[in-house]
Structure 1
Amino acid sequence: MAACAVLACTALTACGGAETSGPPPPSSSPTASRSASGEPAAERLVLRWRKTGGLAGIGGPGSVPEFSLYSSGRAIVAAERPDSRPPDRELTQYRLKPQALQRLLDGARAAGFDRSHTVGSDQIADAVVTVVTMGDAKTRIIEPGWPGSRESLFLKQLAPEGWPADDQSAPPEPYTPQRTAVLAGEITGDGTARPWPLGPLGDGVPAAGAICTLAPSAKVPETRPGTAWRSGGTTYSVRLRPLLPAEDSCGDLD
């Protein structure tokens, strides 16, 4: 079984912010239309958290969020593979029953995540920030924080290893994306560059701080930091970003 992400978020007492409405309750109708992949056609993101900042600059443009929850009850968790060099992430898919999903969304609203606000001080240089989005609302939790705050207590409920089996409609399994975003940036140098085997990288669109093209995941070659690729007479470095549920284009990346 793929490894699960472990949350270790702390927070200070929340500051006030503009009120925004959270996402509507998910539909539990068994007759909801489904896409060709078997997922609900209207599946949408309802809750997400990711870590950003710090000295290492984690969670930059085009990175995979640590936790994403969808209206279908599906959750995608990204966790680093043990002993991977450089750090590599694996994606695990969980499926919650409608009642369990609703409890999490109700808990998120009770913790204040349905309104935009900041927890902690903006004056801390190179701080790690946990960013939580719920509908149009965005909460920034700036570390170090106060472990007893309602925000940090709720985030612990998003750790899948703590979810009872009775709350899940299926066992966890690896998440395999059908498509991958290829994020390319032009580089210079006299080193050896490998020929890019897919469509021209320069034909992409600006997204996530790079030139973005989409390709079937099964056809995308493995790449590592420091690997140079040659495409259309130009040399590029390449990052790969698997598309998550409800992401259909380069414009959906954040």
Structure 2
Amino acid sequence: MTIYRRIRAAATLSVLLLTAAACAQGGNDPAGPDPGPVSLESDVAAIRVDYTGGFSTPAMLASRIPLIAVYGDGRVFTQGPQVMIYPGPALPNLQVQTISESDVDALVERALAAGVGEAKDFGQPPVADAASTRITVVTSDGEKVLEVYALEETPEDGAGLTADQVSARAKVKEFVASLTDLSGTLGAGATGQPTAYVPTAVAAIAEPWVAGDPALPAPPEVAWPGPALPGEPLGPGLDVGCVSAAGDAAAKVLSAAATATSATPWTSEGKTWTVHLRPLLPDEADCADLLAG
């Protein structure tokens, strides 16, 4: 089991216990001195912001990329600009840049100041089928998790929420915004230039391929170069599975994906599949790490 999988398992248990005890969304309620930054291994995420749940397909849920992931050595992973064409590229535009380790510590402190690690009531806005924003932070006092439903969809007029709930949500939203503008948050020159992330491992979430608009030319089929699709099912009764490839196998998948699109029909063992490719981050080893969240 990878470090990340243990972290996510612990985070899930923490959230469940706090929900039962406080009937509120939030994280660990610290006792004693305030926690602070902790020296981390390079492949451990100090801060990670994910979207969870919401109205989407199982394949899309499993292949989501974090909004941002900041690692102990200062690497920062984000999704870069997307090409506005259809079908889009097979691979997401995952980018990496660097900040100093002292700036990693500063961001951890900002997260704690925003309420990560506290049991807070964020309320339940009258919004259906929205995703939740989950913030995971590793500190000297352990891991802290905060989860807010429909953070981005919080009504401007505060409908359905108390003034305290609106204020708590605004604080978290401001922190998330600070992560997406690191140059503004940390100062000019604090961030390195983003470059394309070249993963050493990749996950493939496969579902049966369905033909598109008959008026458009059908995309050419491509033989899948990785482990046999569809892999392990995502859940009971789902014709959607996940496989992962590392090393040479990952290199073959990435090479084939470079000229493929999101609509490419991939053939494997006599069947045709739509494949959602998800580069694995430094602390993710295989499909189980994606499904743990």
Shared fold (TM-score greater than 0.5)? yes
| Structure 1 residue 161 displacement after superposition | 3.9
1:250 paired with 2:287, answer yes
The residue type paired with residue 173 of structure 2 is S
Contact 2:94-2:197 at 8 Å conserved across structures: yes
Task: Rate the CA distance shift 1:107–1:206 in 2: closer, same or farther, 3 A.
Answer: same
Local SS of the residue matching 1:80: coil
Match of 2:215 in 1: none
Match of 2:276 in 1: 239
Written as runs of structure 1 = structure 2, the 5 A alignment for 1:155-234 is 155-158=176-179, 159-162=181-184, 163-168=186-191, 170-187=192-209, 194-202=221-229, 204-207=231-234, 210-214=241-245, 215-216=250-251, 218-221=254-257, 222-234=259-271
Written as runs of structure 1 = structure 2, the 5 A alignment for 1:75-224 is 75-86=76-87, 89-115=92-118, 119-121=122-124, 123-134=126-137, 135=143, 137-142=145-150, 143-145=153-155, 146=166, 149-158=170-179, 159-162=181-184, 163-168=186-191, 170-187=192-209, 194-202=221-229, 204-207=231-234, 210-214=241-245, 215-216=250-251, 218-221=254-257, 222-224=259-261
How many percent of aligned residue pairs carry the same amino acid? 25
Deviations 1:170-215 (A, max 9, x none): 43322222222122123477x8872424144237334595222312
The residue type paired with residue 66 of structure 2 is P
1:44 paired with 2:65, answer no
Structure 1, unpaired ranges of 5+: 1-14, 33-39
| Structure 1 residue 125 displacement after superposition | 1.1
Deviations 1:69-127 (A, max 9, x none): 11112110113325343466422212111221111101101211124656341642133
Query: Is the deviation greater in 111-120 or in 200-209?
Result: 200-209
Instruction: Measure the CA separation in 2 of the matches of 1:24 and 1:127.
Output: 32
Contact 1:26-1:72 at 8 Å conserved across structures: no
Match of 2:73 in 1: 72
Deviations 1:27-71 (A, max 9, x none): 28xxx8xxxxxxx3xx21121223456666796221111211111
Written as runs of structure 1 = structure 2, the 5 A alignment for 1:48-59 is 48-51=48-51
Contact 1:177-1:243 at 8 Å conserved across structures: yes
Instruction: Measure the CA separation in 1 of the matches of 2:93 and 2:219.
Output: 29
Task: Rate the CA distance shift 1:129–1:80 in 2: closer, same or farther, 3 A.
Answer: farther
| Structure 1 residue 237 displacement after superposition | 1.5
Contact 2:26-2:117 at 8 Å conserved across structures: no
TM-score (norm 2): 0.63
Structure 2, unpaired ranges of 5+: 1-23, 138-142, 156-165, 212-217
Task: Rate the CA distance shift 1:250–1:97 in 2: closer, same or farther, 3 A.
Answer: same
Query: Is the deviation greater in 171-180 or in 141-150?
Result: 141-150
Q: Alignment RMSD, CA only?
A: 3.6
| Structure 1 residue 250 displacement after superposition | 1.8
TM-score (norm 1): 0.71
Local SS of the residue matching 1:157: helix
> How many residue pairs were aligned?
227
Contact 1:116-1:139 at 8 Å conserved across structures: no
Instruction: Measure the CA separation in 2 of the matches of 1:81 and 1:18.
Output: 33
